[in-house]
A and B are shown apart, each in its own frame.
Chain A
Amino acid sequence: MNIINFENISRVYQVGSEEVHALDNVSLKIDRNEYVAIMGPSGSGKSTLMNILGCLDTPTSGKYDLKGTDVSDMSDNELAEVRNREIGFVFQTFNLLPRATSFHNVELPLIYAGIPAAERRAKAEQALASVGLKDRMLHKPNELSGGQRQRVAVARALVVGPSIILADEPTGNLDSKTGEDIMALFQEIYKLGNTIILVTHEEYIANHAKRVIRLLDGRIESDRQVAERAVPKRGN
């Protein structure tokens, strides 16, 4: 079953008197438990695609079915609910709340989902344990290393059991060793049956994925499955 079904999605921005076609008639299907990398140079429309996939933005035209529900015409509040339930974000800059503990950061989506405290506690602890940070629950982001912060962000993305994990350059702010650790974490999550969409411009990061979609000027330039093979090291 397709989790994501894009039909002729376009996104047009009005810049002054000029129209910019950030996405131009893109159609795309992604199945459950796929591991997809979206690549492309700056201005190719990756960010726009990612925003629409993540229900942060809506298309100018076209139809987006997420788990069989049309989300392309939803109101802001409906989209917020969809994001809460279906999408787990992992950002390049971690985007944790600076004044909140790891535990509270992970608990937050559950609060917005209206889950009672005891259940929240159990789920958040479990999510933190699954990224190996059970002993850092009460630390604030500034007391954690970059890799640990990103792990907290991954735990936050996983905690509601979303349909898609959307990661936007998740290793961009990490050194290569820590980056590899995070990619290994994604690999584990993928093996547990999650659907992962990775936005990156690094070839060696994209190579972790099973399918690579390349964008250019708002269109899909190529969309190919990656054969099972050894992951090349950086600099290859």
Chain B
Amino acid sequence: MRHHLFEWKEGLLISLTAIRANKGRSILTMLGIVIGICSVALMATAINGIDKAFANGISALGADNLYIDKYAWFSDEDFFLMRNRKNVTMEQFERFEKLAQLPLAVAPSILTMHKVLAGDNYVEGTLMTGTTDGYVRTTNFNFARGRFFSALESSGARNVAVLGSEVAAHLFAKRDPLAQEVKIDGIPFRVVGVLEKQGSNMLGNFNPDNQVYIPIGTVFKYFRRDRDTVTIVVRARNTAMTEATKEEAIGMMRRVRGLLYDEKDDFSVNTQEGLTTEYDKVVGVIKLVGLFITGLSLLVGAIGIMNIMFVSVKERTREIGIRKAIGAKKRTIMGQFLTEAAVICLMGGLVGLVLAVLLSMLVNKFLPTSVQMNTVVLAISISLLTGIVSGLAPAWTAAKMDPVEALRYE
């Protein structure tokens, strides 16, 4: 064991001397690794950021939520068959609310899009969620100002609205929106609450920051006289109870919808797992492609290292002969050159990482992200591994040299 330690220390010393002796060459070679590691680290950081943004968005919506809907959100079921299902009505929601025992909260919801206006400012095509006062308990909303609308306002279908943070910022700039009037498609509503920033652009329009919440009765009164299908949002008490809550929801909905025992469900219970699965499907591919492409730049760097190591071995043939003559074994010579390649790569990797940290501070302006500890570990291990892999062939060439030939080399 002691042998190995001494030899390794000697190897480290030699590589540092060799790198110093060929400064220009070493730095150019390192540059390839710097670029490679920097891009891999940046890509990993960006992916972390996207994942985090998505997870934040999901948790703002409520991670343990179920959505009872006429349509299955993520499925291969025939859309036209689903379209022929009966609508989920408010009456069904009310019966379901009485029957279901397990949920923490239930609320109906219906989406609609309208122009919202306050004074001279307006937002075109704002997504509205029409719902009841119970909705707020299915979310993790925090309020910057005011409150969610009350049971009375909900059942009375009063013209009250809760604004998402972005919508509020657009309409009122620095002014306080509370108790102000906004016009939704020309109809006046009073602002009773403004949400705090919930934090995810990953969800686009579905991001609560970009939405307006109004009593469901007002939706039916002004915008959807056809009494379209509603989605019942069900919040389980906790993650462990999600499955049981879903089972109960299916049973109760069948009762509400008057289904016979041999009839198939004519509704779907959607979960955010579906959303996550869908996300992973799409983003997973992007991640792989991204890492593959950035990996290519690392490969180019690795080829550079291999090339320079072959040159180094050739140049030092005589040195290898001397070392062998005085007792260096194959593994000693091998270790020496592997160490040299690893040191070059590690140095390049560290520089690349520092560069990535600096660049990610720039990226942070567009995508909330920072270099994670696991990215640092990943980058360092990858650079070390790159060094060892690309040093392998040159080191082996050195190790198996015939000492007689090597000593004769001019």
| Neighbouring B residues of A77 by C-beta, 8 Å | 329-331
A111 touching B6 in the complex, CB below 8 Å, given contacts A56-B404, A57-B404, A99-B21: yes
Contacts of B70 in A (CB 8 A): none
Nearest to A107 among chain B residues (CB) is: B10
A51 pairs with B404, CB closer than 8 A: yes
Question: Are A116 and B2 neighbours in the complex by a CB distance under 8 Å?
Answer: yes
Which of chain A's residues has its CB closest to B5's CB? A114
A6 proximal to B (CB < 8 A): no
- Nearest residue (CB) in B for A96 is B322
**How far is the CB of A52 from the nearest CB of chain B, in Å?**
10
Q: B313: CB under 8 A from chain A?
A: no
Contact yes or no, B329 A113, CB < 8 A: no
**Which of B7, B17, B321 is close to A111, meaning CB atoms less than 8 Å apart?**
B7
What is the CA–CA distance of A54 and B321 in the complex, to the nearest angstrom?
A: 13
Complex Cα spacing A114 to B324, Å = 15
Contact B327 A85 (CB under 8 A): yes
CB–CB B328/A112 < 8 A: yes
Chain A 105-146: CB-based contact to B (< 8 A → 1; otherwise 0): 000110111111100000000000000000000000000000
Say yes or no: is A81 at the interface (Cβ < 8 Å to chain B): yes
Contacts A95-B322, A97-B322; is A76 near B330 (CB within 8 Å)?
yes
Contact across chains for A83 and B325 when beta carbons are under 8 A apart? yes
Q: 0/1 per residue, B175-213, Cβ < 8 Å to A? A: 000000000000000000000000000000000000000
CA A84 to CA B326, docked complex, whole Å: 5
Known: A91-B407, A114-B3, A114-B6. A56 touches B325 (CB 8 A): yes
A35 contacts the other chain (CB 8 A): no
A138 to chain B, nearest CB (A): 15
Tell me whether A95 and B318 are in contact (CB under 8 A): yes
CB distance from A7 to the nearest CB of B (A): 22
Residues of A within 8 A of B323 (CB): 97, 108, 112
Interface status of B295 (Cβ within 8 A of chain A): no
| Minimal beta-carbon separation of A154 from chain B (angstroms) | 13
Complex interface: chain B residues within 8 A of A99 (CB): 17-18, 21
**Those of B317-341 within 8 Å (CB) of chain A:** 318-319, 321-332
Complex-state Cα separation, A96 to B319, whole angstroms: 8
**Could you mark each residue 74-112 of chain A with 1 if its beta carbon is under 8 Å from any beta carbon of chain B, else 0?**
001100110111000101000111111000000011011
Of the residues A57, A76, A109, A114, contact of B326 by C-beta under 8 Å: A109
**Residues on the B chain within 8 Å of A46, using CB:** none
B327 contacts A84, C-beta separation under 8 Å: yes
Q: Please state if B329 and A156 are interface contacts (CB–CB under 8 Å).
A: no
Shortest beta-carbon distance from B332 to chain A in Å? 7
Report which A residues bind B (CB closer than 8 A).
51, 54, 56-57, 76-77, 80-81, 83-85, 89, 91, 95-100, 108-109, 111-117, 156
A-B CB contact pairs (8 Å), 21 listed: A51-B404, A56-B324, A76-B330, A80-B327, A80-B330, A81-B327, A83-B324, A83-B326, A89-B326, A95-B407, A96-B322, A99-B21, A100-B17, A108-B10, A109-B326, A112-B7, A112-B323, A112-B326, A112-B328, A114-B2, A117-B6
Other A-B pairs, 15, CB within 8 Å; known A83-B327, A89-B326, A95-B325 = A56-B403, A57-B404, A77-B330, A83-B324, A91-B407, A96-B322, A97-B319, A97-B323, A99-B17, A112-B7, A112-B326, A112-B328, A113-B327, A114-B3, A115-B6
